[in-house]
Chain A
Amino acid sequence: MSQLSSTDTPTEEAEIATDTVREAMLEQLSAELGDALVGSHLEPGIDLTIRVTADAWAQTAEFLKNGMGFAYFSFVSAIDWLPSPFGRDMDSQVDLALEGADPKEAEEMIWGLAGGETRFQVFARVNDIVGHRALTIKADVPADTLTVPSWVGTYAGANWHEREAWEMFGINFEGHPGLRHIYLPGEFEGNPMRKDFPLLARRVKPWPGIVDVEAMPGSDDEEDETDAGGSND
């Protein structure tokens, strides 16, 4: 049982300090893209995220594929950073459809890794399967046009992914050979993955799972467990 307490103390080795492979990637990208590289986040030993301008979105793909050997296309998708106007519907104890939901005060937008400035971001991932490297690329989608250049010319596989992002988030991809619905029926209105698109099942019926949620774990609970575990030798 003494192992129980030893496993949760993380063994922080010295390897965190440097990550030469990802640093070199970042250097090469910033040399090529210059001002178009507006943000980056490097977690040593884990991952690299960069953010480029929407105009440089296609150019970045081109350079990654032909200049840096990232031949493998993983995915393109989008993020909506708008805090949900409904809050977390799962917390509601009342029938929101009957009671009517109070409009929540607007929360501030908080962006993730590599920052952001607009509500929508597109993000993608490509791999270099020879050098075993990968990175995430993000770009802010201009709020007025909601348009970024398409990747289909560089990675043919981006076709379906961009159709999905167009359908789910309403983002246009300039130069895409045919943006049309991929999952939803053609007459469907709205973009379901946007945060202000209500998940109707949750709006009309309170979530039964709510009864399971107990009080937040205090340090008391955890001490009890370690006491019980540690006392048997």
Chain B
Amino acid sequence: MTDISDRQQLGYIASQAADARLNLELETEGMTLNIGPQHPATHGTLRIIAKLDGEQVIAADPVMGYMHRGYEKLTEVRTYPQVTSLINRIDWLGSFANEVPFILAAEQLMEVEAPPRAQWIRTILFEMSRIANVVLFLGDMAVQVGAVTPVFFAFRDREHILNQIESATGGRFHPNFDRIGGLKDDLPAGWVAETKQVMKKMRGFCDEIETLVMGNEIFQKRTRGIGVIPPDVGLQYGLSGANIRGSGVDWDVRRDNPNGLVYDQVDWKVWTHPDGDSFSRFWVRLQEVREATKIVDQLLDTIPAGPIMAKVPRIIKVTAGEAYVETENPLGVMGYYVISKGDLVPYRVKIRSASFNNMSITPWLLKGVYVPDIVTILGSLYFILGDIDR
């Protein structure tokens, strides 16, 4: 009896030793995976160093700075009107929206108010840059899960918006159209009717994306329940835009503090989704494009007549003081803290960009997810590198 049990014991030990040897051979001390700096999911040049245990991410560390252009420093040697041409390039897909909060902050310091017509056109162009920006996301998100067609639809239909922005401002990507006290030019003849047609097309695009992408089983499987952000965590990290509204937080600067833009003049709705996953962020953005087309439509009907510039001195010296103005930009809340010493140039400009905060959650969010989900989660957070690095 004892023989047998000894033999069993020995056999057991031998098998354990073999297992241990095998384990030693297969031992992977956590693999390090470099994603980027050049990767289709990164919208620019972002690098993520991910430590993996098998297919699972143990730690993810984004490395920024490949696109750091030092805008905060550069603003200190540029006059106020020159600054807008710089900050156009922060979020390059929705450029006009970048100019607005800075101009509003300068206007607040100078106690200048743009005439109603300028406020209306500002809001219209603001929402159009939201559409131009988010439409690309809607197509791009499908690419992240392997469907290539929708992004071509997105590029095709974004052209209509860009054409309208170009005909009004002269620039497709960098309008540089906003001025302290108003706007550079009035709208060209026939623009209102054309833009209404374009809005109709954009609503068609939204329906197309909804039927093409959202009901798709693969899309649902890859995004539902993936990358869940609880509201309290999202708030701590300062997430904004669809990223926080996708977590069920009902907060939109456009509605709650429209300072200087005329969102209180139109009938629209803030959409939220309770799930907080990649899918809900996509869903909220889709609704926001629809909502934006409605806002533009209503504003086009009610543009007041009148001048587009308030009276401002030809050479602008902004009154000494400090002002912080934030607006709900396509990527989330963007704000400028402008400190003026009554000079031609700002003394200090702190640019609070949406993507920097949105991105800062990734080390927390990517912990424990599987490698293929990194791409969909990053895609659904929707950042633009210029908006992170500034």
Binding site for B on A (CB under 8 A): 3-5, 7-8, 10, 46-47, 49, 71-75, 77, 79-80, 84, 88-90, 110, 112-113, 123, 125, 129, 132, 136, 155-157, 159-161, 168, 181-185, 192-193, 199, 202, 207, 209, 213-214, 216-217, 221-222, 225
Identify which of B65, B112, B237, B249 contacts A183 (C-beta below 8 A): B65
**Contact present for B238 and A75 (CB under 8 Å):** yes
**Contact present for B315 and A74 (CB under 8 Å):** no
CB-defined A-B contacts under 8 Å, sample of 5: A73-B235, A73-B238, A156-B237, A222-B311, A225-B311
Segment at the A interface, from B3-11, B74-82, B183-191: B74-82
Which positions 221-245 of chain B face chain A at CB distance < 8 Å? 232-233, 235-238
* Residues on A with beta carbons closer than 8 Å to the beta carbon of B74: 199
Q: For the complex, what is the distance from the CA of A7 to the CA of B285, rounded to whole Å?
A: 37
**Contact present for B361 and A157 (CB under 8 Å):** yes
Excluding A7-B311, A183-B68, A183-B389, 7 further A-B contacts by CB distance (< 8 Å) are A7-B307, A72-B251, A123-B337, A129-B256, A156-B233, A157-B236, A159-B360
**Contact present for A157 and B321 (CB under 8 Å):** no
Identify which of B108, B232, B314 contacts A221 (C-beta below 8 A): B314
* Residues on A with beta carbons closer than 8 Å to the beta carbon of B290: none
**Contact present for A71 and B77 (CB under 8 Å):** no
The 9 closest A-B pairs by CB, nearest first: A157-B237, A183-B65, A8-B311, A183-B68, A129-B251, A160-B360, A73-B238, A157-B238, A71-B235
Q: For the complex, what is the distance from the CA of A216 to the CA of B313, rounded to whole Å?
A: 9
**Contact present for B315 and A157 (CB under 8 Å):** no
Shortest C-beta distance, A150 to chain B (Å), equals 14
**What is the chain B residue whose CB lies nearest that of A1?**
B307
Segment at the A interface, from B26-34, B343-351, B375-383: B343-351
Shortest C-beta distance, B122 to chain A (Å), equals 15
Q: For the complex, what is the distance from the CA of A72 to the CA of B237, rounded to whole Å?
A: 8
The reply to whether the CB of B310 lies closer than 8 angstroms to some CB of chain A is yes
**Contact present for B333 and A74 (CB under 8 Å):** yes
Shortest C-beta distance, A81 to chain B (Å), equals 9
**Contact present for A160 and B356 (CB under 8 Å):** yes
* Residues on B with beta carbons closer than 8 Å to the beta carbon of A129: 235, 249, 251, 256
Q: For the complex, what is the distance from the CA of A46 to the CA of B257, rounded to whole Å?
A: 11
**Contact present for A213 and B238 (CB under 8 Å):** no
Shortest C-beta distance, A121 to chain B (Å), equals 10
**Contact present for B64 and A182 (CB under 8 Å):** yes
* Residues on A with beta carbons closer than 8 Å to the beta carbon of B359: 160
**Contact present for B324 and A136 (CB under 8 Å):** yes
* Residues on B with beta carbons closer than 8 Å to the beta carbon of A168: 72
**Contact present for A213 and B315 (CB under 8 Å):** yes
Shortest C-beta distance, B16 to chain A (Å), equals 40
* Residues on A with beta carbons closer than 8 Å to the beta carbon of B237: 73, 155-157
**Contact present for B321 and A113 (CB under 8 Å):** yes
**What is the chain A residue whose CB lies nearest that of B251?**
A129
- How many residues does chain B have at the interface if contact means C-beta atoms less than 8 Å apart? 57
* Residues on A with beta carbons closer than 8 Å to the beta carbon of B113: 7, 10
Q: For the complex, what is the distance from the CA of A88 to the CA of B341, rounded to whole Å?
A: 12
Q: What are the interface flags for B244-279 relative to A under an 8 Å C-beta threshold, 1 for contact and 0 otherwise?
A: 000001010000110000000000000000000000
Shortest C-beta distance, A168 to chain B (Å), equals 8
Q: For the complex, what is the distance from the CA of A183 to the CA of B72, rounded to whole Å?
A: 13
Q: For the complex, what is the distance from the CA of A90 to the CA of B72, rounded to whole Å?
A: 16
**What is the chain A residue whose CB lies nearest that of B311?**
A8
Shortest C-beta distance, B153 to chain A (Å), equals 35
**What is the chain B residue whose CB lies nearest that of A49?**
B322
**Contact present for A79 and B313 (CB under 8 Å):** no
**Contact present for B352 and A193 (CB under 8 Å):** no
**What is the chain A residue whose CB lies nearest that of B359?**
A160
**Contact present for B348 and A156 (CB under 8 Å):** no
**Contact present for A71 and B232 (CB under 8 Å):** yes
* Residues on A with beta carbons closer than 8 Å to the beta carbon of B233: 156
* Residues on B with beta carbons closer than 8 Å to the beta carbon of A209: 79, 82
Which positions 100-156 of chain B face chain A at CB distance < 8 Å? 108, 111-113, 115
The reply to whether the CB of B339 lies closer than 8 angstroms to some CB of chain A is yes
Shortest C-beta distance, B137 to chain A (Å), equals 22
**What is the chain B residue whose CB lies nearest that of A194?**
B73
Q: For the complex, what is the distance from the CA of A4 to the CA of B115, rounded to whole Å?
A: 9
Which positions 49-71 of chain B face chain A at CB distance < 8 Å? 64-65, 68, 70
* Residues on A with beta carbons closer than 8 Å to the beta carbon of B321: 112-113
**What is the chain A residue whose CB lies nearest that of B115?**
A7
Identify which of A159, A160, A199 contacts B77 (C-beta below 8 A): A199
The reply to whether the CB of B386 lies closer than 8 angstroms to some CB of chain A is no
**Contact present for A192 and B73 (CB under 8 Å):** yes
**Contact present for B115 and A222 (CB under 8 Å):** no
Q: For the complex, what is the distance from the CA of A129 to the CA of B356, rounded to whole Å?
A: 19
* Residues on A with beta carbons closer than 8 Å to the beta carbon of B350: 75, 77, 123
Q: What are the interface flags for B300-328 relative to A under an 8 Å C-beta threshold, 1 for contact and 0 otherwise?
A: 00000011001101110000011110100
* Residues on B with beta carbons closer than 8 Å to the beta carbon of A225: 311
**Contact present for B364 and A156 (CB under 8 Å):** yes
Identify which of B64, B65, B236 contacts A155 (C-beta below 8 A): B236
The reply to whether the CB of B94 lies closer than 8 angstroms to some CB of chain A is no
The reply to whether the CB of B357 lies closer than 8 angstroms to some CB of chain A is yes
The reply to whether the CB of B330 lies closer than 8 angstroms to some CB of chain A is no
Q: For the complex, what is the distance from the CA of A157 to the CA of B229, rounded to whole Å?
A: 14
The reply to whether the CB of B335 lies closer than 8 angstroms to some CB of chain A is yes
Which positions 183-211 of chain B face chain A at CB distance < 8 Å? none
**Contact present for B339 and A79 (CB under 8 Å):** yes
Shortest C-beta distance, B256 to chain A (Å), equals 5
Shortest C-beta distance, B240 to chain A (Å), equals 8
Shortest C-beta distance, B11 to chain A (Å), equals 49
